[in-house]
Amino acid sequence: MDQSLFFTINRDWIFPWLDKPMATLSSWDAWWPVAVIGALCLLIFGGFRGRAALVCIALAIGLTDGLVLQVVKKSVERPRPNQVLDGVRIIDLAKATPRLLALSKPVKEKYSEPSIRPVRGRSFPSGHAANNFALATVLALFFRRWGWLYFIVAVLVAYSRVYVGSHYPSDVVVGAVLAAGLSFLAVAIAEALWRRWGGRILPRVHAQHPSLFV
């Protein structure tokens, strides 16, 4: 079922006009300048809550991708579909420096041929999906009016990983669920630590902000 749904998304539900947006969403090299700008905006203009959110984002992604996902990936060692399946449609941005310049060029398209040699993969779970759902969870907890909107981006990024041929649907679903749960846990721990120890470490700041959220 997983493989069948993968091929449905990767080879049947495709549109030429969608290739470049999906390849862009799937490329960290194209996204990191936007991420840096967003982080700087929170740091400079976000006040206490924005800076607290940045710390919790780092904790959530560190716990999710830096620790748990790496252990699971090494334990499962699931190859990517484009490494072991024949005829996977692989979509990627053209080569360019900086990578955003690739948006003005046609995307690269090719079809996979299974590797003859044994493959040690890192497909399960998806790091792209996990990192974006970790970010979405923290933003939703800290900025309830608009933070939840990032879940739309997270879903699109997760879908793009299947569309471009890099992950099975189960890879992105498990990555998303793990990240949401672990991120909620990371924020809860950070809030408990701040309530208990913040007054001793930064008494003036804690007096003004007894909670990370308010």
| 32 close to 167: Cβ distance less than 8 angstroms | no
What was the pLDDT predicted at 91? 93
- Rounded Cα gap, residues 152 and 25, in angstroms: 12
Output the six-digit token pair for 1: 């079922």
Q: Is residue 40 within a helix (H) or strand (E), and if so which, with residue range?
A: helix 28-45
| 191 close to 53: Cβ distance less than 8 angstroms | no
- Rounded Cα gap, residues 156 and 15, in angstroms: 15
List the alpha helices (DSSP H) in 46-168: 47-61, 70-76, 81-84, 127-142, 150-163
Q: Which residue has the tokens 């390849």?
A: 23
The pLDDT tens digits for 64-118 are 998 899 999 999 989 999 888 989 999 999 988 877 778 888 999 999 887 777 7
Tell me the pTM. 0.93
Give whole-number Cα distances, 144 to 48, 136, 171, in Å.
16, 11, 28
The pLDDT tens digits for 154-205 are 999 999 999 999 999 999 999 999 999 999 999 999 999 999 998 888 999 9
